[in-house]
Amino acid sequence: MSTDAQGRALSVLNRVAQADWPDRFKLRKPFEKLLYTGSRAGFQMVAERSGKAAKTPRKADPDALFDLSLSDEQQMIREMLQGFALEVLRPAAHDADARGAIPADLLNQALELGLAHYGVGEVHGGMAGERTTVSNALIAEALGQGDMSLAASLLVPLSAANCIRRWASPEQQARWLPAFVSEERPPLVAIAVSEPGVLADPHRLATKARRKGKHYQLTGEKCLVLEGLNASQLIVAAEAENGPALFLVEGGAKGLERQAEPAMGLKACSTARVLLKGVKVPTENRLAAADFDYPRFLDFTTLAWCALALGTGQAALDYVVTYCNERVAFGEPISHRQGVAFMVSDIAIELDAMRMMVWRACARAERGEPFQREAYLARLLCAEKAMKIGTDAVQLLGGHGFTKEHPAERWYRDLRAVAIMAGGLHL
């Protein structure tokens, strides 16, 4: 981490430490611990790199067993965001779902966390380091424990920064990424991949990009775009002359139309239908990384949704365990009944299997190893088991599961998005 990046990291942590809401939600101690450890580790790295005998980073052993242990920093970030999710997101989720939008005060509190910094590399003043993919998955999982829809909305700037850092050219990164780590609010850049239509396949895009001189003309339709109504820019996936490509499109471009598209779940995400009618995009706005790999891009979006499913599934498990232990029927807690206990146990087993698959795919991705197989298997497992977890949570709550008095019905609706969403998020 450079001294400049270290300074920016400390600025983010200090901004959180000086806010008043951590005191209201009893999150002061985790923040102070993260601030202290982040400062100590950062200055230690700067000192090591400035010395004559700077250490060479240890490379991962390809023959080593898969290691699920987290670093101290990752564990603290996870605990901090879990506290934020449970104390801040969870209480706000019901009203956000009813209004179909994220509350402004909650958005301001979340901005103090500086999540977008984890998607920007150190060279541009961010905090994205060697273990970026796993760390981002932990962030998504932790926030998902509060509410899947709110978490997805808050992760949109981080996802856009990840996408630009990974798939844009060095010149484009230098032009676009600094805005995500400035003192101002980071730009809201939505990622538009999903398309309407029967059996729509994100690998076979119906949206077309035709090269005409110094511009591309984009024509097509996108659906279920997270924060699509509020985004100032969009990263649009379209079929170009030499295959699928990504384009950064201004929100006010001529020929771009956006319509509200409320869905069964993810209501707080302000999902939108985006129409592109000959939208002109400068050629320099095509993301132009030398190693651009569209299937790999989709795999990273897959892992983002899987990580969110882990967090929401864990929330459902924690909730039904408490409910079943406290709910008394015929003179004893319903958790004493085998039919209930076995169903709760199945949720726990399925969650552990999902977590193993997702973390394994993320670990391979950040080591630069092929992970398409692992991401595909993680998606299959999470798409099936996430819906089952949502269904079982509603079932375990009985009639209460059908009402909005409890969050199980909202989790049930949100978890079904894992099987159908493409794009929107990016680890």
Which of these, 75, 83, 70, 78, lies nearest to 28 by C-alpha position?
83
Query: Region 171-185: what's the mean pLDDT?
Result: 93
The residues with which 275 forms a beta bridge, in sequence order, are 221, 257
Note the residue count of the chain. Answer: 427
- Is the alpha carbon torsion for 222, 226, 227, 232 positive or negative? negative
Candidate CATH numbers 2.40.110.10, 2.40.420.20, 3.40.30.10, 2.60.120.200; the one for domain 189-285? 2.40.110.10
What is the pLDDT, as a whole number, of residue 33? 58
Query: Region 246-253: what's the mean pLDDT?
Result: 97
Whole-angstrom distance, CA of residue 98 vs CA of residue 416:
18
Topology alike, domains 189-285 and 294-416: no
Spatial contact of 87 and 25, defined as CB atoms under 8 Å apart? yes
Query: In CATH terms, is domain 294-416 a member of 1.20.140.10?
Result: yes
pLDDT digits (tens, 9 = 90+) for 296-328: 999 999 999 999 999 999 999 999 999 999 999
What is the pLDDT, as a whole number, of residue 43? 36
Which H helix or E strand runs over 273? strand 272-282
What is the pLDDT, as a whole number, of residue 61? 53
Residue 3 pLDDT exceeds 50: no
Domains in the chain: boundaries: 189-285, 294-416
Which H helix or E strand runs over 80? helix 72-84
221: CB partners within 8 A, 6+ apart: 195, 196, 206, 207, 273, 274, 275, 276
Give me the amino acid identity at 146. G
Whole-angstrom distance, CA of residue 149 vs CA of residue 224:
13
396: CB partners within 8 A, 6+ apart: 320, 323, 324, 340, 343, 344, 408
What is the pLDDT, as a whole number, of residue 69? 79
pLDDT digits (tens, 9 = 90+) for 117-139: 999 998 999 988 766 899 999 99
pLDDT digits (tens, 9 = 90+) for 4-49: 545 555 555 555 555 565 666 566 566 555 554 554 444 343 334 3
What is the pLDDT, as a whole number, of residue 22? 63
Whole-angstrom distance, CA of residue 284 vs CA of residue 288:
8
Position with higher pLDDT, 345 vs 59: 345
The per-residue pLDDT of the chain, averaged, comes to 88
Whole-angstrom distance, CA of residue 426 vs CA of residue 404:
30
